[in-house]
Amino acid sequence: MPRRRHRVKAIAVTLALGTAMFAAGAVLIEPDTPDAPAPGGTAAAAARPADTAAALTARLQRLPGDWNAWSALGMAHIEQARTTADPALYTKADKALRRSLSLQPSGNTGAETGMAALAAARHDFTTARTWAEKALASAPYSPAAYGVLADAHTQLGHYRDAERAVQKMNDLRPDAASLARASYTFELRGKTERAAELMRRSLTAATTDSERAFAHACLSNLALEDGNARLALDEADQGLREAPEDPALLDARARAHAALGKTDQARADWQRATDIAPLPHLLLALGETHQALGHDEQAQAQYTLLRAQDTLRTSGGGPPDTDAILFEADHGSPVRAVALAEQALRTRPFVAVHDAYAWALHRAGRHREALAHADQALALGTRHSLWRYHRGAIHHALGNDQAATADLRSALGPAPALHPLHATDARALLERIGTRP
């Protein structure tokens, strides 16, 4: 069904480059966090990625020398992988993008940006940065290339470089993708009100179903971190009315239901989300929900799937993500979780990895080392309830009850953005502190 397109006004998004603003530009390109819009920003097609890929494949059968179509096919496969969790699609994307580059080796900004997006999707952020810089050498005014460059810099811990890339992207084209990245810079800083304002502008500027769904999911998560579970539920419901099969929106609604104490409804949404896209963070959420409800057999079934995914990742040489680290720390071997986190941190010194490393160290009994990384995870001011819970538990293990209480209360908030399993543990820790002599 055709939808009304919105004209994007030339809105100046000011990201101050001083002490007032410390930014990072990734729009959640990994499974630790909600899904990002298609790598190409507003160039993404409104059709489903599978339909786009099928149409492009048909075109290339007639016109095999169309290098632009090959690069577009590569991008469509990346988007398919994002929504289906099928890693084989990354191989298809790589082949399509390299075919485009073989047909047009120079000035092929679309394929170079696609290679950057593919490397980022595979968590190879150094390579992503290299390809994004190559794309910008070909086309210095490419907003999409600046977007992927910002993503790469963020995950590499180069926050000021990421900030500059986000500002340049917004200067060139303040569309839905640019405004979403600007929103995330403020979210990472803990400025959720400003982040929500920019995400609403991104929603207004959205021209595709994918962009609108992404904006509603982000607005839901921002509301939940602010303790407004009702608003979080409303935002997720609004998005699901347009995109009922979007896993990020189902995840957002599940989290809102959980915060409102509706654990069974949360479980149903997480089950539906994993049926659509068995992404690691969704499987982990569903498994831990079953565990919280005392459904041990169902929980183990999800954990078995997660272990199988990790085996595939390891066999393919892929780097560990934070979900794998946290899963191993809580449901496997904390010692192995530490090793995975150390591997991840060497190539991706992002705040989320510092949090996962902190939790792995804590679970392995190395609390003093854990605290240093928990502090690094929260150094930007990010309002992430799970990270606060992690640091609170670490403070408790070190005997600092005052700091532990502050973090645990912040983690629980007016409505717990924490998963039900973690919220229960946080409350138990607070009760234990209250009775400690």
Predicted confidence (pLDDT) per residue in 158-208, tens digit: 999 999 999 999 999 999 999 999 999 999 999 999 999 999 999 999 999
- Measured between alpha carbons, how far is 13 from 168 in angstroms, rounded to an integer? 10
pLDDT band of 84, cuts 50, 70, 90:
confident
Q: Who's near 356: CB < 8 A, 6+ residues apart?
A: 322, 325, 326, 329, 337, 341, 344
The overall average pLDDT reported for the chain is 89
Percent of the chain with pLDDT strictly greater than 70: 89
Q: Provide the residue type at 420 as one letter.
A: P
pLDDT for 17 beyond 80: no
According to CATH, the topology of domain 11-176 is 1.25.40
- What integer pLDDT is reported at residue 198 of this predicted model? 97
Same fold, 11-176 and 319-435: yes
Mean pLDDT, rounded, for 222-226: 96
pLDDT band of 315, cuts 50, 70, 90:
confident
- What integer pLDDT is reported at residue 282 of this predicted model? 97
**291: left (phi > 0), else alpha (psi -120 to 50), else beta?**
alpha
Model-wide pTM > 0.85: yes
End-to-end Cα, the chain, rounded Å: 65
Domain boundaries, the chain: 11-176, 319-435
pLDDT for 238 beyond 60: yes
pLDDT for 437 beyond 70: no
Q: Two tokens at 383?
A: 């309002």
The residue among 134 and 21 whose pLDDT is bigger is 134
pLDDT for 11 beyond 60: no
Q: Two tokens at 410?
A: 């912040």
pLDDT band of 23, cuts 50, 70, 90:
very low
> Do 156 and 165 form a contact (C-beta atoms < 8 A)?
no
Question: Yes or no: is domain 319-435 CATH 1.25.40.10?
Answer: yes
- What integer pLDDT is reported at residue 24 of this predicted model? 30
- What integer pLDDT is reported at residue 432 of this predicted model? 93
Mean pLDDT, rounded, for 376-382: 97
- What integer pLDDT is reported at residue 436 of this predicted model? 59
> Do 206 and 38 form a contact (C-beta atoms < 8 A)?
no
- Measured between alpha carbons, how far is 104 from 97 in angstroms, rounded to an integer? 10
> Do 169 and 185 form a contact (C-beta atoms < 8 A)?
no
pLDDT band of 32, cuts 50, 70, 90:
very low
pLDDT for 257 beyond 60: yes
Flag the least confident range among 35-49, 148-162, 330-344, 413-427: 35-49
